[in-house]
Amino acid sequence: MIYCGIDWAEKTHDVALVDDSGRLLAKRHITDDAAGYKILLDLLAEYGDTEEKSIPVAIETSRGLLVAILRTGKRPVFAINPMAAARYRHAVSRKKSDPSAALVLANMLRTDMHAHRPLPADSEWARAVAVLARAQQDATWNRQQMSNQLRSLLREYFPAALRAAAIWQNGLCRPEIRELLKAAPTPAIAGRLTRSQITAALKRAGRKRGIEADTERLREALRSDWPHQPPLVEDALGKQMLALLLQLDAACTAADNLAKAVEETFAQRENAEVILSFPGLGAQLRARVLAEIGDDRERFADARGLKAYAGSSPITRASGKKSAITRRWVKNDRLNHAGYLWAFAALTSSPCAKAHYRRRRDDHADWHASALRNLFNRMIGQLHHCLQQHKLFDEQAAFPAPPSREVSAA
């Protein structure tokens, strides 16, 4: 058995091959281009890498062209956490070099390959959904960050704009408010806006209904009495606000475009009806869940592995005579975040899920977050079962009626 370790970098990579005894068979320094990839594949083929008997490869990343080249065929590729690789180094001085790092990665597979998980064999469709879903989530977070920065700036000199934006939830991200701020970047200009100018701004934002009522509410909010900054300072803050507004516009456009791309890509697969059958999973949320668990049905041996990966199942920490049951800190943060939203949305779309949540709150005295985490733990276990058995979600089977209190007491 031969094992390969690759220490990757931006321009060059170091490769090391070892055998079962740990003897270094070969090492190469390759470039990050087509010529370098060919040298790597030729080196693996020279030492017996075939379709039937592939050489396992360890690398400290799961993305990039190099990983895509390595994943061709049935070759197992292990994405090793850099912190885990650092624990395997035996150098007392804690110094490292790129060739030695590649050798450490190869020896990690030689000694403890069973303790590491290879990259899942997801389909091309699932990997495309993962790219778009994660990008859309990042764009959403970026949009909220830009909105928070704009809100902090408006509080310094233009609180009337915040009052106008309060008409809608997350109002600063609404196109109506953004168009108004472009037309009136300062309180002095906003106070002189006429009804026709506000109406025109709403129409530019795409509004077609309720324009007259919103025009009156916005005009009243913009003309409310607030203290003012000095004129020169107010003009300078208005220019700063317009610069932030451009960034917020770009973030909103990116989030909307990626959301549309996620829906279009997800709809290309007909066998996604299992995920679609679960309550609480909207267009974006179901894509995020699929992006993190993939469609490789052999990735998790059982539902417990998926629950631990999602961070929904509790963990027992014991040391000596002390033990404590706490939530998991090492988990897939994206899947855990999606699970919280999933459980929260299921409360309104599934009566049985809501009943389960109430039982956790009333009978077990769980806090809100703890009860939602327990509900997510239950739902993702059911998702694993349905995906393995190719069955649609059945609410009555997923949440059987609990035994009555009289029967329990007897």
Give the least confident one: 15-19, 86-90, 193-197, 337-341.
86-90
Phi-psi region of 401 (alpha: psi -120 to 50; beta: other; left: phi over 0): beta
Q: Quote the percentage of the chain above a pLDDT of 90.
A: 66
**Torsion (CA) 247, 248, 252, 253 in degrees, nearest 10:** -30
pLDDT digits (tens, 9 = 90+) for 59-101: 999 988 999 999 888 889 999 988 888 888 766 656 677 788 8
**Average pLDDT value for residue range 145-165:** 94
Q: CA neighbours within 13 Å on the CB side: how many for 349? A: 12
DSSP 13-80: EEEEEE-TT--EEEEEEEESSHHHHHHHHHHHHHTT--SSSPPPEEES-S-SHHHHHHTSTT--EEE-
Alpha carbon distance 17, 131 (integer Å): 31
Instruction: With beta carbons less than 8 A apart as the criterion, state whether 41 and 58 touch.
Output: no
Distances in whole angstroms, Cα of residue 328 to Cα of each of 69, 88, 189, 307, 342:
34, 24, 52, 10, 18
The gap between the terminal CA atoms of the chain, to the nearest Å, is 61
pLDDT of residue 213: 92
Q: Where are the beta strands (DSSP E) in 255-326?
A: 315-319, 322-326
pLDDT digits (tens, 9 = 90+) for 347-399: 999 999 999 999 999 998 999 999 999 999 999 999 999 999 888 998 888 88
Secondary structure element (H or E) that encloses residue 5, with its range: strand 3-7
Q: 402 pLDDT exceeds 90?
A: no
pLDDT digits (tens, 9 = 90+) for 257-312: 999 999 999 887 766 788 889 999 988 999 999 999 988 888 888 999 999 999 99
Burial of 317 (0-12, 13-18, 19+ CB in 10 A): exposed
**Average pLDDT value for residue range 241-253:** 96
pLDDT of residue 407: 44
- Per-residue confidence band for 408, with pLDDT thresholds at 50, 70 and 90: very low
DSSP 8-state code for residue 322: E
Tokens describing residue 410: 């007897």
Alpha carbon distance 58, 77 (integer Å): 6
Q: What is the mean pLDDT of the chain?
A: 90
Instruction: With beta carbons less than 8 A apart as the criterion, state whether 291 and 133 touch.
Output: yes
Confidence (pTM):
0.84
Three-point CA angle 375, 379, 382, nearest 5°: 145
pLDDT digits (tens, 9 = 90+) for 33-45: 999 999 999 999 9
pLDDT of residue 409: 45
Q: 405 pLDDT exceeds 60?
A: no
Q: Does domain 3-115 correspond to CATH entry 3.30.420.40?
A: yes
- Per-residue confidence band for 410, with pLDDT thresholds at 50, 70 and 90: very low
Instruction: With beta carbons less than 8 A apart as the criterion, state whether 85 and 7 touch.
Output: no
Burial of 225 (0-12, 13-18, 19+ CB in 10 A): exposed
